[in-house]
Structure 1
Amino acid sequence: MTFDLVPLTGDRADGYRQLTAQAAALLAGESDRIANAANLSALVYHALPEVNWAGFYFYDGRELVVGPFQGKPACVRIALGTGVCGTAAHTRRTQLVPDVHAFPGHIACDGDTRSEIVVPLIRDDTLLGVLDLDSPRPARFDDTDRRGLESIAEIFVRSLATS
């Protein structure tokens, strides 16, 4: 199967609606966590401007472990409550960080990163992991990104429901 990335058009909210539709089509009929995370991280990385890392960390029952991603090599393990990813996992709330250097306990996997957004992945009140995006531009992410990425994360979680 081939999948053509369709350029996003319109305003940013409309772009996220288009990206969400592309994500749903890409994951349709597949329930494998690794396959879906790999394809979804590639889709998001190539669709969104000014993103230098997009990918997943999965919760193994003790800590977050890096999963499929696009970008420079990443930190392999992150404790719950540590850094932006660990905080999102621990609080189960999206973390929108305009300046990672101002975030207490930020883990600098890539020195070029200036802003970050991390969406927790929850199914039936169980932590599965997080979707993480980094940018070299300060304040790259906003509430439009939060809403859009939470929708995309929900599509990913729903894709696993059949497994």
Structure 2
Amino acid sequence: MISHTHVPRLLPWTGPAGKPAYLLDGGAGRISRIADTIERDQLGMADDLLDDAAEALADRTATRESQHWKDNNSDNVSTSIKFSGCSLSNGGTSGTFKYATLQLKKERAKLPDPVVARNNNYCGTSSFGDVASGSYYFNYSGLNGTDQTSWHLSVSSVVVKY
């Protein structure tokens, strides 16, 4: 008598109640081929995602824009941005941080986003006043008074109040 022992294969989908699904066919059946195809597709998507992430991280301009937020302006609070722990670097070389020129922008669908206000941030708080209701974000357009595209701004903490 010949006995075959198959190691359980974790499938790329879940079973009943969200529990892991396993297969014991040794890799020769129809379900194994379906699982192979799904896993190949998943690995391809993961590879594409890693390529996109590497491209975004390599593009220094991608780091110039903040996350976006919605201000309903229901409380008449001034919009402010606070930086702490500011530094500059350029390929391993540290630079002296003096200030970053920040632009507060308002989102507009299918149109260029206008700059609502500009302010220099000296690694502290920049106030942009009470802004109208809408979706906003900020970016930095300059470092130490120039558009230093070869330098990278690092900030250990960013607090936006609106």
TM range, normalised to the smaller chain? under 0.3
Higher helix share: 1
TM-score with structure 1 setting the length: 0.24
TM-score with structure 2 setting the length: 0.24
Structure of greater Rg: 2
